[in-house]
Chain A
Amino acid sequence: MTSKISMTVNGRQVEGSVEGRTLLVEFLREHLGLTGTHVGCDTSQCGACVVHVDGKAVKSCTLLAAAADGGDVVTIEGLADGTRLHPMQTAFKENHGLQCGFCTPGMIMSAVDLVNRHKSNGGGKLTEEKIRAELEGNICRCTGYHNIVKAIEAGAKAM
């Protein structure tokens, strides 16, 4: 059984025909060719698949594509404004917040969401402790998180 779905992905209206079991991450990767969003586990733990749906960070391995029907999805490919990088992307580069790059798209999408939520909750200083606690759902095996935390501190200031 397939069903037709449509959604906005990175500002572009897209349509597709998916099985009921098709996950959002499969739709993005296999149907739309947006391979920047990665799958690192099968249990919603690692966060390599994080995208934004209707402005909120979502693990796209845990959402059916059909459930995102009509939604507004932003992936890592849609974060920059044309060739101008999002401040969080720049911060990851400038602070060496990535090594192999596999967790990076999900990490950046989570970081942007983290800062957005923090700001909408009144802002104030985004402490290291808070950043570390908020990154619970994103696993990185390379960096030891040290430079990711620094990158998010810098990205938050620039956002």
Chain B
Amino acid sequence: MGMEGIGARVLRKEDQRFITGKGHYTDDFKMAGMHYAAFVRSPHAHAKIGKINKSAAEKMPGVVAVLDGKQLTGDGIGNLICGWMIHSKDGSPMNMGAWSALATEFVRYVGDGVAVVIADSPDNARTGAEAVEVDYKVLPHVTEAVVAMGSGAPQLHPEAKNNIIYDWEIGDKEAAEKAIAGSAHVTEMEIINNRLVPNPMEPRAALASYDSAQDHFTLYTTSQNPHVARLVLSAFYQVAPEHKLRVIAPDVGGGFGSKIYIYPEEIVCLWASKKTGVPVKWTSDRTEAFLADAHGRDHVTKARMGFDKDGRITGFSVDTVANLGAYMSLFSSSVPTYLYATLLSGQYNITNIHCNVRTVYTNTAPVDAYRGAGRPEATYLVERMMETAAREMGMDRAELRRKNFVTEFPHQTPVIMCYDAGDYGATLDAALKASDWAGFEKRKAAAARKGKLRGIGLSCYIEACGIAPSAAVGSLGAGVGLWESAEVRVNPVGTIEILTGSHSHGQGHETTFAQLVSERFGLPTDNVQIVHGDTDKVQFGMGTYGSRSGAVGMSAITKALDKVEAKAKKIAAHLLEADAGDIVIENGEVKVAGTDKKLGWHEVCLAAYTGHNLPAGMEPGLKEGAFYDPTNFTFPAGAYVCEVEVDPDTGKTEVVQFVAADDFGTIINPMIVEGQVHGGITQGIGQAMLEGAIYDGNGQLVTASYMDYCMPRADDVPSYQVSHHVTECPGNPLGMKGCGEAGAIGSPPALINAITDAIGNNNLTMPATPARVWAALNGK
């Protein structure tokens, strides 16, 4: 309805402050008496902590305190936890080692925090931290998961024998093996999914203050989910009970998963603010971010996929080893299990799937969800297998996929997921057409004339968003419910505030959420204010990750709007002496259908608050809240085509065309959705071609700055062709599926499939650097 309703390309309301430098990010806030924290971090991958000599640091200019892990645990601050319980296939619970916010006995990765210095300026805090002397007894270390499981490997935690956290499986092993054994063709691959560092442009930061008179804490923090932060800080880390702790996540400069978790630094800042009596701010520098932000991916997988003589998939067997780093981050256990193995059916009808996953401790930064979280790993595996199988069998790559597509819904896979709606043929057709797949051979010949190898690659992805019914995830081990809450407050003048538990850190919620009101009541989005990111304002919320803010967050708003609409109609019916069933609200007016009787929206709102003339027994006011718990995951899907040119002399790859055809269900604002896809694809191209976190033989992260870790830059990527093909999601009131991660999920296999097509060698590992491509091309 109207110019700014669902489907309109409304320009973003939030942009004005960002383009004028008036955004308010955590590091922009100041408090009277504010001091600064700098962390003393382990330079060793694995060591026993000896004496910590603080005396030199304590004498440094401006230093007010030097605090260590024994003081922290001594004050009753609890260990960090992983909030998703996974049981091994033998029934035993996962083997979680202890993780203190500051290490007490051992350090287990380079960057592990040992102490914190509080000083009157950031420079004095850093200089103080450099003066803290820690005696380390260096221990043997291991950074690769497969090595860490082996005999004789250094052991990280006494709880985890052979460093194995759990040995988990899904699906029917016997059936999958039998099906593969009887196959006409079996494709077998070993696939590595490279370790990435999420790298939102705003480094993490925290500003904590303790009010002794009220016994109350306030924390400004770079969080995607401030309410979850408050819950965990309160219930598990014993910082303060929830009603004594306000968490504010103001403007947040990107997250991509890495700002879901509650990290040691926030805990330490809160604790230190009480201990020192001054507000404490910590702002990560970029190298600290590389060292101590949760990393993503890092899988090693062996897989076999069987096909019958017609190319139909008979069975799929997967054995994955996932590196979780030195400690179990908040949702780390769920990523290589329920967010990964449950998507191994891809877009295909596969009767027999078995997947075994072992997760392993290593002396590296903790690994958790990063944009896509498990689904990129699954998609990369499935789509490299499909492409390779087609080449091995001499079949058309698109036709092999089409032959195996799920075409009837709902479709129950053998790995938990029940796909509710989709049209995989439609997105494949759209991508093939937009990329002029049929005309590729001509372009290849033209490239060859200028000495370039041109290749084209395809990826048909499916993912799962809007995670999921709370009861279902609870039964799978989740420690939280995964609903969302919203409150719609209509003011007496008719303007509206929406309080949401979702959090926007680039997604444009202030615009798209306002479009729901515009659609519903015909009000301009300027009359709507979105309130989020403050636990004192919004009652509760689960935050933003897993592309859930549309399917779950907006559904909660929709439910609250339903209640507001119903009450407004009752008030209007009373005032207009009509039946509530005959009232319609459109273009900011409340009318009796089929008559000229009407009131302005603001008149109805004012009547709700004056209370002078309301239906008998009705409470004054116009404010409603709702909680929404999804009935199922949602299943965004699509097809991506990537075309590359490789320079055979150097191995340098240029992405010359990238086409995305996505089905995200209902789209609120196409401009914003396209932007999400552009960004996701670029992160996927980054993974496939540029990015990789590398620990050297000493356990040092050698890719710990933008001079060493290759972020995608403007001249690394092309402009994209993006289109949408909608099948509505039947599981939520708006029919939405989610668009935040698809680009990063679907793109890596499309790009690698294009390069392997160009060079004629299926054996290529991400990131496909010029050196790797050249080596693969030359059979090295």
Cβ-defined contact, A101 with B203, below 8 A: no
For residue B52, CB closer than 8 A to chain A, the reply is no
Q: Are A36 and B22 in contact (CB under 8 A)?
A: yes
Cross-interface CB contact of A93 among B19, B251, B285, B674, cutoff 8 Å: B19
Chain A positions within 8 Å of B672 at CB level: 96
* Residues in chain B near residue A99, CB distance under 8 A: 254, 506-508, 675, 679
B719 adjacent to A40 (CB under 8 Å): no
Which one of B675, B711, B714, B715 contacts A96 once the chains associate, using CB atoms below 8 Å? B675
Bound Cα distance from A45 to B505, whole angstroms = 22
In the complex, which residue of chain A has the Cβ closest to the Cβ of B19?
A89
In-complex Cβ contact of A144 among B15, B254, B682, B707 (8 A):
B682
| Shortest Cβ distance from A36 into B: residue | B21
> Chain B residues with Cβ under 8 A from A21's Cβ?
123
**CB of A101 to closest CB in B, whole Å:** 3
Of B254, B508, B706, the residue contacting A43 (CB under 8 A) is B706
Task: Tell which of A38, A136, A145, A149 touches B25, judged by Cβ atoms closer than 8 Å.
Answer: A38
Determine whether A156 belongs to the interface, using a CB cutoff of 8 Å to chain B. no
Binary interface profile of B, 4-27, with partner A (CB < 8 Å = 1, else 0)?
Answer: 000000011011111111111101
Tell which of A52-60, A64-72, A103-111, A115-123 binds the partner: A103-111
Q: Contacts A37-B21, A40-B201 hold; do A142 and B15 have CB atoms under 8 A apart?
A: no
Q: Which of A36, A94, A141, A148 contacts B20 (CB 8 A)?
A: A36
Interface contact B286-A40, CB-CB below 8 Å: yes
Are A98 and B201 CB-contacts (below 8 A) given A135-B715, A149-B714?
A: no
- Interface residue count for A (Cβ, 8 Å)? 55
Given contacts A41-B705, A43-B707, contact A102 B201 (CB under 8 A): yes
**Per-residue contact bits, chain B 663-699, to A (CB 8 Å; 1 contact, 0 not):** 0000000011011001111110000000000000000
Q: Is there contact, CB below 8 Å, between A98 and B15?
A: yes
B252, A77: Cβ atoms closer than 8 Å? no
Cross-chain contact A147 with B705 (CB below 8 angstroms): no
With A and B bound together, what is the CA distance between A77 and B19 in angstroms? 9
Determine if B200 and A143 form an interchain contact, defined as CB atoms under 8 angstroms apart.
Answer: no
**A45 vs B286: C-alpha distance when bound (angstroms):** 11
Q: Taking the nearest CB of chain A, how far is it from the CB of B608, in angstroms?
A: 35
Q: Which residues of A contact B20 (CB under 8 A)?
A: 36, 76-77, 79-80, 85, 89
**A139 shortest CB reach to chain B, Å:** 5
| A35 CA to B203 CA, complexed, in Å | 15
Looking at chain B's contact residues, the main secondary structure is loop
A92 within 8 A of B: yes
Tell me if A93 and B16 are in contact (CB < 8 A).
yes
| Residue A1 at the chain B interface, CB threshold 8 Å | no
Q: Bound state CA distance, A132 and B256, in angstroms? A: 24
Q: B286 touching A43 by the CB < 8 A rule?
A: yes
Establish whether residues A45 and B675, one from each chain, have CB atoms under 8 Å apart when the complex forms. no
A91 to chain B, nearest CB (A): 9
Contact: B705 with A100, CB < 8 Å? no
Q: Across the interface, which residues of B come within 8 angstroms of A63, CB to CB?
A: none
Whether B484 sits at the interface, judged by CB under 8 Å, is no
Cα separation A85 to B287 with both chains bound (whole Å): 35
- Tell me, in angstroms, the Cα distance from A1 to B371 when the chains sit together: 46
| Contact (Cβ within 8 A) B253 A132 | no
Contact residues in A for B15 (Cβ distance below 8 Å): 92-93, 98, 101
Which residues from chain B contact A7 at a C-beta distance below 8 Å?
none
Q: What residue in chain A is nearest B713 (Cβ atoms)? A: A136
B231 an interface residue at 8 Å Cβ cutoff?
no
Contact B720 A146 (CB under 8 A): yes
A residues 114-134 with Cβ under 8 Å of B?
128-129, 131-133
On whether the beta carbons of A101 and B706 are closer than 8 Å, the reply is no
Q: Which of chain B's residues has its CB closest to A19's CB?
A: B123
- Measured between alpha carbons, how far is A10 from B674 in the docked complex, in Å? 35
Distance to closest chain A CB from B371 (angstroms): 10
In the complex, the answer to whether A144 meets B23 with C-beta atoms within 8 Å is no
Residue B28 is within 8 A (CB to CB) of chain A in the complex: yes
Within 8 A of A (CB), among B248-283: 251-254, 256
B202 contacts chain A at the CB level, 8 A cutoff = yes
Residue of B nearest to A134 (CB): B714
- Contact partner, B706, options A45, A85, A135, A146, Cβ 8 Å: A45
Chain A residue nearest to B203 (CB atoms) is: A40
Residues B678 and A146 in contact, CB atoms below 8 Å apart: yes
Minimum distance in angstroms from B59 CB to a CB of chain A: 19
Contact A144 B717 (CB under 8 A): yes
Sort chain B's interface into a size bin.
35 or more
Residue of B with least CB distance to A102: B253
B199 on interface, CB distance cutoff 8 Å = yes
Query: A104 touching B18 by the CB < 8 A rule?
Result: yes
If A100-B201, A101-B253 touch, whether A135 touches B21 (CB-CB below 8 Å) is no
Pair A100/B505 contact, Cβ less than 8 Å: yes
Alpha-carbon gap, A96 to B682, bound state (A)? 16
Bound together, the chains give a CA A131 to CA B715 distance in angstroms of: 8
Q: Which residues of A contact B505 (CB under 8 A)?
A: 100
A residues near B719, Cβ cutoff 8 Å = 128, 146, 149
The reply to whether B715 and A36 form a contact with Cβ atoms under 8 Å apart is no
Closest B residue to A109 by CB, please name it.
B21
Q: If the complex has contacts A43-B286, A144-B717, are A101 and B199 also in contact, measured as CB distance less than 8 A?
A: no
The answer to whether B21 and A100 touch across the interface, beta carbons within 8 angstroms, is no
Is there an interface contact between B714 and A46, defined as CB atoms closer than 8 Å? no
Let me know if A41 and B286 touch, CB within 8 A.
yes
Tell me if A5 is interfacial: C-beta within 8 Å of chain B.
no
Name B7-54 residues within 8 Å CB distance of A. Answer: 11-12, 14-25, 27-28
Taking CB as reference atom, which chain B residue is nearest A22? B123
> Closest residue of chain B to A10, judged by CB?
B21
Output the nearest chain A residue to B9 by Cβ-Cβ distance: A96
| B254 pairs with A102, CB closer than 8 A | yes
Is there contact, CB below 8 Å, between A41 and B678? Answer: no
A154 at the interface (CB under 8 A from B): no
A96 touches B12 (CB 8 A): yes
Q: How far is the CA of A45 from the CA of B674 in the complex (A)?
A: 27
* A48 close to B (CB within 8 Å): yes
Contact of B705 among A29, A43, A94 (CB under 8 A): A43
- Indicate if the CB atoms of A141 and B679 lie closer than 8 Å: yes
* Nearest-CB residue, chain A, relative to B371: A141
The answer to whether B506 and A100 touch across the interface, beta carbons within 8 angstroms, is: yes
CB distance from A32 to the nearest CB of B (A): 12
B230, chain A: closest CB distance, angstroms:
22
A100 touching B706, Cβ below 8 Å: no
CB distance from A59 to the nearest CB of B (A): 12
With A93-B11, A96-B675, A98-B18 as known contacts, state yes or no: A42 contacts B286, CB within 8 Å. Answer: yes
How far, in whole Å, are A93 and B25 apart by their CA atoms in the complex? 19
Q: Are B711 and A142 in contact (CB under 8 A)?
A: no
Is A100 a contact partner of B11 (Cβ separation < 8 A)? no
Q: Is the CB of B202 within 8 A of A147?
A: no
Q: Separation in Å of the A114 CB from the closest CB of chain B?
A: 11
List the A residue with the shortest CB-CB distance to B253.
A102
A residues near B25, Cβ cutoff 8 Å = 35, 38, 102
A28 CA / B681 CA spacing, docked (Å): 35
Seen from chain B, the residues whose Cβ lies within 8 Å of a Cβ on chain A are 11-12, 14-25, 27-28, 123, 199-203, 251-254, 256, 285-287, 505-508, 671-672, 674-675, 678-683, 705-707, 711-715, 717, 719-720, 743
21 interchain pairs, CB-CB under 8 A: A35-B24, A45-B706, A75-B21, A76-B19, A89-B19, A92-B19, A93-B12, A96-B11, A96-B672, A98-B19, A99-B506, A99-B508, A100-B200, A100-B254, A100-B505, A102-B201, A138-B714, A142-B506, A144-B683, A146-B720, A148-B714
* Known A34-B21, A93-B15, A143-B679; 8 more pairs at CB < 8 Å: A41-B706, A42-B285, A42-B287, A43-B286, A45-B711, A75-B21, A101-B14, A135-B715
Q: Which residues of A contact B (CB under 8 A)?
A: 19, 21, 29, 34-43, 45-46, 48, 75-77, 79-80, 85, 89, 92-94, 96, 98-105, 108, 128-129, 131-133, 135-136, 138-149
> Sorted from nearest, which 8 A-B pairs have the closest CB atoms?
A36-B21, A102-B253, A101-B18, A100-B506, A144-B682, A45-B706, A76-B21, A144-B678
